[in-house]
Amino acid sequence: MGAYVFDNSWEKERVRLAGLESMLDPGTRRHLDAVGVGAGWTCLEVGGGGGSIVQWLCRRAGAEGKVVATDLDTRFLDALGEPNLEALRHDIVADDLPEAHFDLIHSRLVLEHLPQRDAVLKRLVSALKPGGWIVIEDLDCHGLFAGPARMFRYTNSDAGNGTGQAVRVWQAVIGVLQKAGYDPEYGFHLPREMMALGLQDVGGEVRAPIFSGGSPGVAAHRFTLEHLRESLVATGAVTAEEIDREIAGLDDPRTLCSMPSVLVAAWGRRPEAARPAKGGGAMPRQRATIVDRLKSVPLLEACTAEELDRIATLAEEIEVPAAEVLTHEGEREALFYIVATGTATVTREGRKLATLGPGAFFGEIALLTHGPRTATVTADTAMKLLRLDERHFTALLRDAPTVARKILEGVAKRLGEASAGVAK
């Protein structure tokens, strides 16, 4: 695979990866959501890293699907514990891949590091089922080497804006990576390479997050500099003091920073699809995204976009047939549901209480009280639902306190309606 410079065994690597996840995951999930990944899909994540996108894919694929996540070191993937995940220690350059096997293949910030990137992309396309989608995300650093450089550091501190120093430091970082086979312009080549391989519906998007000093996304840059410190100083291009000043600027909440590069996401579909072709190179709009559905839920109507993105990472989308019993009165079942499409009837002791349609939710009271279900909910029609199990519901309450407050407010309303015999 070449001399890849980032190693999962480094003591701070998980924190560095968490910074990347914070900065890049919302866009990645949006792209994967738009190609339609869902229940029953077989997915390949190349370079699983910290595992946030792997876990999201596992929940989307559900019990009927499977996610294979590869990495040279799978320690972070092994800790996920998803039942439909196969974490595979695998060198994407040298090790075999099955032919025509996957509905979806995704990688982020992997191919740009590989001297054999063109051959790897070709092998990945061969591993797609006919009609399968590939989504690749890699950086492009053209702007960092433009004159003047397309990068900024704005600050209210007395130390000046620091843009010139930042440019020198990050140009030195690219120099170190290039010695290990890195291509700093690969991102913009991706759509062309996908077209050359005969993919259909090729399209793409350029993202360039702007972040404030000390925010979660800064960790990706800060710990990249810490990891490469010795190699950077050894080049003579920057000093240890310049690296320290750049880190201090990244940590300063008075600083507003651009990325030293842009992220290019490119996608395409292998021909001879069972799914209908989409024209124009645009992201396919097969259905509303999970975030769109969450926006329609009264319980969550006041949530910010960031909060909805967090909920979307925890929810699993499922489909059920008409007459499916979703909750059983008196049973202890730890699942929370949001209705996306279809309708269901709520009954208690055989008496109809309500009909639930798109945007309705149920099951939160049993999760919060750890008690039995207070009603039976049965699907009237085929339905699509968003589902959180107890672990993911608890994670939501723990990690998103503002969402937790909104949920508790909704529960208070639901209990009031229950006491009046209006709802379950």
pLDDT of residue 422: 44
Give the model's confidence band at 69: pLDDT under 50 very low, under 70 low, under 90 confident, else very high.
Answer: very high
Q: Tell which wins on pLDDT, 247 or 308.
A: 247
Q: Tell which wins on pLDDT, 102 or 210.
A: 102
Chain-centre distance of CA 306, in angstroms?
A: 13
CA atoms within 13 A on the CB side of 258: 19
Do 177 and 233 meet the contact criterion of CB atoms below 8 Å apart? no
Q: Locate 325 and state its tokens.
A: 């019993």
pLDDT of residue 312: 75
pLDDT of residue 277: 39
Report whether the peptide linkage leading into residue 284 is cis, meaning its omega lies within 30 degrees of zero: no
Contacts 24+ apart (CB under 8 A), 326-329: 326/362, 326/377, 326/378, 326/379, 326/385, 327/362, 327/363, 327/366, 327/373, 327/375, 327/376, 327/377, 328/373, 328/376, 329/372, 329/373, 329/374, 329/375, 329/376
Residue-wise pLDDT tens digits, 174-186: 999 999 899 999 9
Amino acid symbol at 136: I
Q: Tell which wins on pLDDT, 209 or 313.
A: 209
Q: With 50 as the cut, is the pLDDT of residue 281 above it? A: no
Q: How far apart are CA 249 and CA 166, in angstroms?
A: 9
* Residue entry with tokens 């107890």: 390
Entry pTM: 0.67
Please choose, from the candidates 186, 182, 204, the residue with its C-alpha nearest in 3D space to the C-alpha of residue 115: 182
Please report the domains of the chain, with CATH numbers, ordered by start residue: 13-269 (3.40.50.150), 290-417 (2.60.120.10)
Mean pLDDT of all residues belonging to the chain: 85
Residue-wise pLDDT tens digits, 112-121: 999 999 999 9
Handedness of CA 6, 7, 8, 12 (dihedral sign): negative
Residue-wise pLDDT tens digits, 310-361: 777 777 778 888 899 999 988 888 888 888 888 999 999 889 988 888 877 8
The conformation of residue 157, written as its DSSP 8-state character, comes to S
Handedness of CA 225, 306, 34, 382 (dihedral sign): positive
Do 69 and 88 meet the contact criterion of CB atoms below 8 Å apart? yes
Q: With 50 as the cut, is the pLDDT of residue 129 above it? A: yes
Q: Locate 127 and state its tokens.
A: 């591993």
Strand-by-strand arrangement of the 351-356 sheet: 325-327, 376-379, 344-348, 351-356
Amino acid symbol at 197: L
* Residue entry with tokens 């700093």: 184
Mean pLDDT of 368-394: 86
Q: Locate 295 and state its tokens.
A: 């926006």
Q: How far apart are CA 83 and CA 278, in angstroms?
A: 33
Give the model's confidence band at 86: pLDDT under 50 very low, under 70 low, under 90 confident, else very high.
Answer: very high
Please choose, from the candidates 243, 376, 254, 389, the residue with its C-alpha nearest in 3D space to the C-alpha of residue 316: 389
Q: With 90 as the cut, is the pLDDT of residue 98 above it? A: yes
Mean pLDDT of 5-29: 83
* Residue entry with tokens 């306190």: 401
Give the model's confidence band at 1: pLDDT under 50 very low, under 70 low, under 90 confident, else very high.
Answer: very low
Mean pLDDT of 276-284: 41
Percent of the chain with pLDDT over 90: 45
Per the rule left: phi > 0, alpha: psi between -120 and 50, beta: everything else, 338 is beta
CA atoms within 13 A on the CB side of 108: 24
Query: Angle 301-303-308 (CA atoms, 0-180°, nearest 5)?
Result: 105
Q: With 80 as the cut, is the pLDDT of residue 190 above it? A: yes
